[in-house]
Copies of this chain bind each other. A is one copy, B any other.
């Protein structure tokens, strides 16, 4: 383990920092304190079947979701697409979005955010507000 050697130029399973969240482990591979990140953050999420990260927005961050393995039910605004390995979603700064595991296997995806720091809150949960509360049910995407 070389966590004490940060900032790293190379990050493998030995150096990554893992956060445990309700929608699966978050394996941080690039963020301040781990690398010399200024403009880029990258976290690999391993989302179990039946879970998801409900509708939210990042007021100061642009984001990419890149699917590594499994199937994502990916929302950007009020539009939903099923994404597979190698597919990408682009989420402009402050746009509402959500990611659910759309299959029966673990969904693995990269969330890439820019810049590497926020001055205000990094994330605002809007999952309890209209139209996001009922969107998945009304479109038939909810299981």
Contact = CB atoms under 8 A, between A and B. Distances in A.
Interface of A: 7-13, 29-30, 35-40, 42, 44, 62-64, 66, 68, 74, 76-77, 79, 81, 83-84, 86-93, 110, 112, 114-115
Copies per complex of this chain? 2
Contact of A12 (B38, B86, B114, B115): B86
A46 to B, nearest CB: 11
* Dominant secondary structure at the A interface: strand
A9 B93 contact: no
A9 B90 contact: yes
Contact of A91 (B9, B42, B62, B63): B9
Contacts of A63: 40
